[in-house]
Structure 1
Amino acid sequence: MLAELFLDAARSCQGHSPLTHALLVAAAGDLARGGVTARVMAGAECDRQGTVPGLRFAGALHRLVLEGRAPALAAHYPTAGGEPDLRTLWDDVLPVLHEHADELRAAIASTVVQTNEPGRSAPLFGGLQTATHLAAVAAGRRTRFPVRLLEVGASGGLNLRPHRIAYLVDGVKLGDPGSAFALDPRWTGRPPADLDHNLRLVRRAGCDLDPVDVTTEDGRLHLQSFVWADQVHRFERLRAALDLAQLDPVPVRRAAGPEWLAEQLARPERDVLTVVWHSVVWQYTSPADRAMGRAVLADAAGRATPMAPLALLVYEPRRTHGADPYQFQLLLKLWPAGVSLRLGSGAGHGIPFTWDPRPWT
């Protein structure tokens, strides 16, 4: 039932975004009553949970606000300079739904949720420092390998620039100290590598089934609309990452992950560490594509050599046995060195993060 999927989405943001939670709870009630939300969501009645129809609904409304086309509603949205009043929020949502119902329905039907959270560059940066260090040790090199970074499910490619960000750690700027994009990674512990090393990315590429062109205003608005509107810190972080992308463009190809990866990994590259990276993608991937991706990676791992090493670095939710059924973990495999590490865990957006290296089995 569509109203239940809205309530599922509301629960996911409870405690993180009071505005989005209140919006989706009210919309679920309106759906159950057959109100205007049912008209806006017409055609989505059989959507599966993984398509997150509630967040697509919230994103479509947020985009109208960002475009300046819903001024009364904007008064509730901090990303537009407003201040939420949860008691009157739904009263101001209803006229927008009636006025823009057909447009909203078309937008919701044609879009997918893409957050492309640049905060995940913080654990990525530490993971790359660790991978280059361990690969150099395994190869007996005195200097670290430069990196070829390949991202599957890259969305707009905002995490393909980890070396161009300033990371504020204990009052020191790591990475690119002169960058206009600065992150406080809020680390507990440290990666098992020298972070003063100059991380070199010599080649970068990404693929996505629905890539976002972040050099366009449409692409920028698309990603901004999926930030929960009362999380201004995330919104500002995204805008900084979008500005950096304008200065350092990295196109993302429209392609399925396994086929694209097979092409990229067809031949090992000597004197370069090839790193396959993805974050919060696995849950949206079909079992068939997962199996194919594993086979492609295993084939490439068999061709890796100490001077042409291969790494898998992922930041994905994994089931746990604790109070929280899922934990976002940073995992590293390195071939042919045989390294397999769980480097640590953190929040879904990559910040904060706790480094706690241990074997990954």
Structure 2
Amino acid sequence: MAEKYQFLDIGATGPGILVAAFDNQVMYCNSSGADRTARICAALRDLLERGEGGAVLERVRAWSGAPLADAVPLRLAGGLHSLYLNGAEPALAAIYEGRDGVDDVAIVAAALHEHEAELLPWLDGPPQTNEAGRSANFIAAMLWLADQGLPPRFECLEIGSSAGINLMLDRYHYDLGGVQVGPEPGAMRFKPEWEGAAPPDHAIEIVSAKGCDVAPVDLTDPAQAVRLKAYIWPEHTVRFERMEAAIAEAGKEAPDLLRMNAADFVEAELAKPQPAGTTRMLMHSIVWQYVPEEQQARVTAAMEAAGARATADRPMAWVALEANRVLHIHEMVVRYWPEGESGALVTRAHPHGAWIGWGSSSRTI
């Protein structure tokens, strides 16, 4: 077991990387207040180290990609959490309820062997980590962009939208360091602990919000909603409340969500006419690591080409809220065109919206 966090290249492969990826996830969960999920990941790591057999762990050992970039620990953690949520493996309650003095490794091993058929499909695709609290960062980005002189009317495009929870960001209310944005009372209310200066106070308008995902989730389908809940770290009870609120909102009006890969979606949307006086904004949160390199290159090329065509009346912006695995926090970097192309660190943030630090003045671990 790692005594302290050491930097691990998210795209690393090869001998020793698998166990290191689980160590990394343990540290990441602990730093984010998810001690029970950390216990699950630590037990999985110990089982891998001791050579535990079974179809699930053997498939993990044979992983051909980068285990951290592919979020292998979280794929298994989601599957185990689903067994707890649906009552299929009551023994897991000892871990998920935070009991001390129990043998986590034995409990997790028994679950892996007993439920191989249920757990193996969880390794087939990346986690669906939709979290409404990240919308507060996107709103902060809009306030910042408006302060740079961009039109405060935003056409939002999101890749990796999962269930489209953040596509409904105009239905939520935000208190960001005292700056109020959004409808009252709002389908959800976000008041993250704010660090640093307050964001600039501008009137902003979200003209549209459209997104894509390679495997979109229908919030109105109870089975799909349960799968999303399994990826929620159980320590963060407020996230379950937010999920129920999002399900209710989707039932009123579904988010504009397409089944497409990131590159195809961005290229198609950027080819469409952009209304004058509107800022076209690409946004994504905790998704870039799951986008294949070839698609990353296409998205980057499409955005830079669109940026080269941008004008003051039809500007482009790129808002990326992604993990910094050195600091165990998330950072939102914003690029915009026709000026400010290099990108600015606008916020550092808790992965699920508990706190936001304005600029680089915020906390690190």
Task: Give the TM-score range, shorter chain.
Answer: 0.7 to 0.9
Post-superposition Cα deviations, 1:211-263, rounded to whole Å, max 9, x if no partner, equal 22222122212221112222223333343334333333114222221221111
Question: In the alignment, is the contact (CA less than 8 A) between 2:141 and 2:319 conserved in 1?
Answer: yes
Aligned counterparts, 1:28-43, within 5 A: 28-35=45-52, 38-43=54-59
Please tell me whether residue 14 in structure 1 is matched to residue 30 in structure 2. Answer: yes
Aligned counterparts, 1:138-153, within 5 A: 144-153=151-160
TM-score by length of 1: 0.82
Residue matched to 2:9? none
Post-superposition Cα deviations, 1:154-212, rounded to whole Å, max 9, x if no partner, equal 222211122211224567753222113111221123454325x2x32222111122322
> Structure 2: which amino acid aligns with 1:185?
P
Residue matched to 1:159? 166
Please tell me whether residue 96 in structure 1 is matched to residue 101 in structure 2. Answer: no
Structure 2, unpaired ranges of 5+: 1-15
Residue matched to 1:70? 89
Question: In the alignment, is the contact (CA less than 8 A) between 1:132 and 1:273 conserved in 2?
Answer: no
> Structure 1: which amino acid aligns with 2:102?
R
Residue matched to 1:202? 207
Residue matched to 2:145? 131
Cα 1:170–1:294 change in 2 (3 A) is closer
> Structure 1: which amino acid aligns with 2:351?
G
Question: In the alignment, is the contact (CA less than 8 A) between 2:229 and 2:243 conserved in 1?
Answer: yes
Secondary structure, aligned partner of 1:43? helix
Secondary structure, aligned partner of 1:167? strand
> Structure 2: which amino acid aligns with 1:175?
G
Residue matched to 1:139? none
Question: In the alignment, is the contact (CA less than 8 A) between 2:158 and 2:284 conserved in 1?
Answer: yes
Aligned counterparts, 1:173-252, within 5 A: 174-190=181-197, 192-195=199-202, 197=203, 199-252=204-257
- Choose from 275, 280, 298 the match for 2:281: 275
Cα separation, 1, equivalents of 2:293 and 2:124: 24
Which deviates further from its counterpart, 336-345 or 152-161? Answer: 336-345
Residue matched to 1:56? 75
Please tell me whether residue 263 in structure 1 is matched to residue 273 in structure 2. Answer: no
Cα separation, 2, equivalents of 1:285 and 1:29: 29
Cα separation, 2, equivalents of 1:9 and 1:337: 37
Cα 1:151–1:188 change in 2 (3 A) is same
Cα 1:112–1:287 change in 2 (3 A) is closer
Question: In the alignment, is the contact (CA less than 8 A) between 2:142 and 2:152 conserved in 1?
Answer: no
Cα separation, 2, equivalents of 1:30 and 1:44: 11
- Choose from 293, 298, 316 the match for 1:292: 298
- Choose from 45, 50, 70 the match for 2:61: 45
Compute the displacement of 1:10 (Å). Answer: 2.3
Structure 1, unpaired ranges of 5+: 137-143
Question: In the alignment, is the contact (CA less than 8 A) between 1:192 and 1:357 conserved in 2?
Answer: no
Cα separation, 1, equivalents of 2:145 and 2:166: 17
Compute the displacement of 1:312 (Å). Answer: 1.5
Question: In the alignment, is the contact (CA less than 8 A) between 2:176 and 2:199 conserved in 1?
Answer: no
Please tell me whether residue 87 in structure 1 is matched to residue 102 in structure 2. Answer: yes
Cα separation, 2, equivalents of 1:331 and 1:32: 37
Q: Cα RMSD (Å) of the superposition?
A: 2.8
Cα 1:17–1:302 change in 2 (3 A) is same
Question: In the alignment, is the contact (CA less than 8 A) between 1:57 and 1:108 conserved in 2?
Answer: yes
Compute the displacement of 1:337 (Å). Answer: 4.4
Compute the displacement of 1:66 (Å). Answer: 1.5
Cα 1:8–1:356 change in 2 (3 A) is closer
Secondary structure, aligned partner of 2:320? strand
Aligned residues: 339
- Choose from 119, 131, 141 the match for 2:133: 119
Question: In the alignment, is the contact (CA less than 8 A) between 2:173 and 2:186 conserved in 1?
Answer: yes
Please tell me whether residue 109 in structure 1 is matched to residue 112 in structure 2. Answer: no
Cα 1:288–1:110 change in 2 (3 A) is closer
Please tell me whether residue 354 in structure 1 is matched to residue 357 in structure 2. Answer: yes
Cα 1:58–1:356 change in 2 (3 A) is closer
> Structure 2: which amino acid aligns with 1:68?
G
Which deviates further from its counterpart, 47-56 or 255-264? Answer: 47-56
